[in-house]
């Protein structure tokens, strides 16, 4: 398919971009000690530039030390300039153009990431402090130019400091920088003018802004957003990059939208704003397919599209789209496990991706093997398939043995939950990719220890996944008690007043499935409903389903199951416990997913002296991102 609109050039001042695709600024956590740029960041951006992206907007860089948390890059020292010059040189060498977001985080760095940061917000800053920060924006802009960037983006969205000044709830000042709309615009506009004064005349200036201000006690109106954009244009902004979300409410979910949001969810709002402003508009909002991206440009809803996590998932997204290889694009599934959960995980050293565990590790490459090995992969779930792909790409000879009649494992089942069809599609895509790569696949084959001895592979990977095992609860085998797998697969059907035992990811998803099926659903968890599901997906449970639609019982530990009733121990907010009962028509057990036994297989490998690795749920029941990470690790180590 041809995407002429998407791949048409666009000129902004003196900068001509070869297509309309923008890699938006996204935090990667690859910074070293706040200032260092390593080979990982360089290779990450070079890969996406080589993949055909029109403009890489390198992530945020702090304009000053006060709001500079450890996970962000900086742009206020000579070291920052030298480090970022490595990134711009790599992007240019790969045929791309480079931009960067100049940024002051307001309350976000201190509140969420590092309490040692100085809290600088509209209500804590003196006028002298405001003037200092304006100067720092200008000084950072000069350093951006010195680092070889082709453009830069003023970040005024997501409740960072400029947004805080604009918002009538976050800005309670009563001087010339607060109160009226004109006064609230003063600081952001002064920053733009300072930036523009330190840029070459022919260098365009982007501005990131929220297309809608929402979910706070007071918000900017659409009229005010439009007026501010037009004032920003007069001050020197050439194109506005419209995003969505803030860190003061559940609107956080719109910054890194999970699969709960439809692709392009933000575009109607963006189109409405675009119709009223006098500069071009870039749009973002979970745009994952070239067909949608092209349509948005073609219909005039935006002038550029920000393709972010889709390019994390597949660095060759642009080239594949341009060459009509749509079927070869590895699509983002919106799980947010690697691109968001890892940002807020203090133990994670960089972001990653469930479908692309090489993200941020591009510098390591895929070394070709000098000694090809015959590798038996037992299990054709997402982990087994991706291990086979890495091995095949390196020159090994993997063979997948799958006990069922199809590949995909629990990813196929996961896709049965509402709005998770992308998981099934991902599993089916990986199966086709294995075929395309020429990987040998044997379905309907249950591998035994004797078979390992017969085949005599050079290496074995055990990826047989997990299965439901009934938990040790009296009455678990009673009438109208079902496991989550049987409900999602269609083997069983719940009805009436339905209790879901377990409020983790499986419990939440089957509860949504059951509600859509017409059941009266209550989820019960001994800790908290939504525990372990990830912040954004947990937020969406509250946004999509009211407590009346899906009822939730926290700190409710089921002790036994009787005739259509459960007995459970409830702990109230005062930590007082009591024993209660609750009726059900159907009970769905969403706990008890357990690793399949691997001991016989691994013991035979040990006996025969065959190296063996166990990965994914077969090793320990966790998330899909753990399975694919281990697939990468094993697939690149053999």
DSSP characters for 115-169? TTS----TTT--HHHHHHHHHHHHHHHHHHHHTT-S-EEEE--TTSHHHHHHSTT
Is residue 49 within 8 A of residue 41, CB to CB? The reply is no
Q: Which long-range contacts (CB under 8 A, 24 or more apart) does 5-10 make?
A: 5/294, 5/297, 5/298, 6/290, 6/293, 6/294, 6/297, 6/305, 6/321, 7/321, 7/322, 8/297, 10/54, 10/280, 10/303, 10/304
User: Which residues are CB-neighbours of 475 under 8 A, at least 6 positions away?
Assistant: 481, 560, 561, 562
CATH number of 10-362: 3.20.20.70
Pairing of strands 10-12, 15-17: antiparallel
Confidence band, pLDDT 50/70/90 cuts, at residue 440: very high
Task: Summarize the confidence of residues 490-497 as an average pLDDT.
Answer: 97
Q: What are the percentages of helix, strand and coil residues in the chain, rounded to 5?
A: 35, 20, 45
Its CATH architecture, for the domain 369-466+596-637, is 3-Layer(aba) Sandwich (3.40)
For residues 71 and 31, the answer to whether their CB atoms sit within 8 Å is yes
Q: What is the mean pLDDT of residues 498-527?
A: 95
Whether the predicted pLDDT of 470 surpasses 80: yes
Q: How confident is the model at residue 534 (pLDDT cuts 50, 70, 90)?
A: confident
What span, in angstroms and rounded, lies between the C-alpha atoms of 417 and 540? 14
Catalytic residues: 160
Cα distance from N-terminal residue to C-terminal residue, the chain: 38
User: What CATH topology corresponds to 481-591?
Assistant: FAD/NAD(P)-binding domain (3.50.50)
369-414, pLDDT tens digit by residue?
999 999 999 999 999 999 999 999 999 999 999 999 999 999 999 9
**Which of 245, 252, 211, 249 shows the shortest CA–CA distance to 228?**
211
Residue 238 has pLDDT above 90, yes or no: yes
Q: Is the dihedral of CA 276, 225, 214, 66 positive or negative?
A: positive
Question: Do the bridges between strand 466-468 and strand 459-462 make them parallel or antiparallel, or are there none, so unpaired?
Answer: unpaired
Mean pLDDT of 413-441: 95
pLDDT, one tens digit per residue, over 25-54 is: 999 999 999 999 999 999 999 999 999 999
Say what the pLDDT of residue 587 is: 98
Alpha-carbon dihedral 27, 32, 33, 34, rounded to 10 degrees:
-40
* Confidence (pLDDT) at 257: 92
Q: Where are the domains of the chain?
A: 10-362, 369-466+596-637, 481-591
The answer to whether the beta carbons of residues 120 and 106 sit under 8 Å apart is yes
How confident is the model at residue 284, as a pLDDT?
96
Q: What letter does residue 381 receive in the DSSP assignment?
A: B
**Bridge-based pairing state of the strands 612-614 and 239-243:** unpaired
Predicted confidence at residue 121, as pLDDT, reads 97
Q: What is the pLDDT of residue 442?
A: 98
Report pLDDT digits (tens) over 53-108: 999 999 999 999 999 999 999 999 999 999 999 999 999 999 999 999 999 999 99
The token pair that represents 173 in the structure block? 């000042």
516 touches 605 (CB < 8 A): no
Residue with tokens 């390198």: 58
Pick from 84, 207, 81, 97: nearest CA to 153: 207
The confidence score (pLDDT) of residue 316 equals 98
Q: Do domains 10-362 and 369-466+596-637 have the same CATH topology?
A: no
Q: Using one digit for the tens of pLDDT, what is the confidence trace for 582-621?
A: 999 999 999 999 999 999 999 999 999 999 999 999 999 9
- Across the range 131-145, mean pLDDT stands at 98
In this structure, the dihedral spanned by the alpha carbons of residues 237, 240, 246 and 250, taken in order and rounded to 10 degrees, is 170
Look over the chain and give the mean of its residue pLDDT values, rounded to a whole number. 96
What phi-psi label fits residue 518: left (phi over 0), alpha (psi between -120 and 50 degrees) or beta? left
Compute the chain's Rg from CA coordinates: 26
The residues with which 47 forms a beta bridge, in sequence order, are none
The conformational region for residue 446 under phi > 0 = left, psi -120 to 50 = alpha, else beta, is beta
Q: What is the pLDDT of residue 530?
A: 86
pLDDT tier at 541 (50, 70, 90 boundaries)?
Answer: confident
Map residue 510 onto helix, strand or coil: helix
């Amino acid at each position: 398919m041809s995407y002429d609109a998407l791949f048409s050039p666009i000129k902004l001042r003196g900068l001509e971009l070869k297509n309309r695709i923008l890699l938006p600024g996204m935090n990667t956590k690859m910074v070293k000690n706040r200032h260092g740029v390593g080979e990982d960041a360089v290779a990450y951006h070079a890969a996406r530039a080589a993949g055909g992206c029109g403009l890489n907007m390198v992530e945020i860089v702090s304009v000053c030390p006060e709001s500079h948390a450890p996970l962000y890059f900086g742009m206020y020292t000579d070291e920052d300039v030298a480090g970022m010059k490595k990134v711009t040189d790599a992007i240019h060498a790969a045929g791309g153009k480079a931009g960067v977001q100049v940024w002051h985080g307001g309350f976000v760095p201190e509140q969420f990431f590092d309490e040692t940061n100085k809290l600088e917000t509209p209500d804590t800053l003196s006028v002298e402090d405001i003037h200092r920060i304006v100067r720092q924006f200008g000084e950072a802009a000069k350093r951006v130019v010195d680092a070889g960037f082709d453009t830069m983006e003023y970040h005024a969205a997501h409740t960072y400091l400029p947004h805080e000044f604009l918002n009538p709830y976050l800005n309670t000042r009563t001087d010339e920088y607060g109160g009226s709309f004109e006064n609230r615009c003063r600081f952001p506009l002064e920053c733009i003018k300072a930036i523009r004064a330190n840029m070459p005349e022919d260098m365009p200036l982007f501005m990131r802004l929220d297309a809608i201000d929402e979910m706070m006690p007071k918000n900017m109106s659409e009229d005010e957003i439009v007026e501010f954009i037009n004032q920003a244009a007069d001050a020197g902004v050439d194109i506005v990059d419209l995003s969505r979300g803030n860190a003061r409410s559940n609107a956080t979910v719109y910054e890194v939208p999970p699969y709960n949001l439809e692709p392009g969810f933000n575009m109607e709002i963006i189109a409405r704003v675009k119709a009223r402003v006098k500069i071009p508009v870039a749009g973002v909002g979970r745009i994952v397919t070239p067909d949608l991206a092209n349509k948005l440009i073609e219909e005039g809803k935006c002038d550029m599209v920000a393709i972010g996590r889709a390019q994390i998932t597949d660095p060759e997204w642009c080239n594949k789209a341009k060459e009509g290889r749509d079927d070869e694009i590895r699509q983002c599934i919106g799980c947010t496990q690697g691109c968001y959960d890892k940002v807020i995980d203090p133990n994670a050293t960089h972001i990653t991706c469930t479908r692309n565990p090489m993200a941020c590790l591009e510098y390591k490459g895929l070394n070709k093997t000098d000694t090809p090995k015959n590798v038996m992969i037992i299990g054709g779930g997402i982990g087994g398939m991706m291990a086979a792909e890495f091995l095949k790409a390196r020159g090994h000879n993997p063979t997948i043995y799958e006990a069922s009649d199809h590949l995909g494992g629990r990813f196929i089942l996961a896709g049965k939950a509402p709005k998770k069809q992308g998981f099934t599609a991902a599993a089916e895509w990986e199966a086709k990719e294995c075929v395309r790569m020429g990987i040998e696949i044997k379905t309907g084959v249950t591998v035994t220890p004797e078979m390992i001895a017969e085949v005599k592979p050079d290496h074995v990977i055990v990826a047989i996944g997990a299965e439901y095992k009934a938990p040790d609860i009296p009455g678990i085998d009673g009438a109208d008690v079902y496991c989550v797998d049987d409900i999602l697969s269609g083997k069983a059907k719940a009805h009436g007043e339905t209790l879901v035992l377990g409020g983790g990811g499986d419990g939440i998803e089957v509860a949504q499935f059951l509600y859509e099926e017409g059941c009266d659903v209550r989820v019960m968890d001994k800790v908290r409903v939504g525990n372990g599901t990830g912040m954004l997906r947990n937020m969406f449970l509250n946004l999509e389903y009211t407590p009346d639609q899906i009822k939730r019982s926290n700190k409710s530990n089921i002790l036994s199951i009787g005739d259509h009733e459960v007995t459970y121990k409830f702990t109230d907010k005062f930590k007082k416990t009591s024993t209660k009962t609750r009726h059900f028509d159907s009970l769905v057990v969403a706990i008890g997913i357990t690793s399949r036994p691997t001991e016989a297989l691994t013991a035979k490998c040990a006996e025969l002296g065959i190296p063996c690795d166990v990965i994914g749920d077969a090793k320990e029941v966790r998330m899909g991102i753990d399975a694919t990470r281990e697939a990468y690790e094993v697939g690149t180590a053999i």
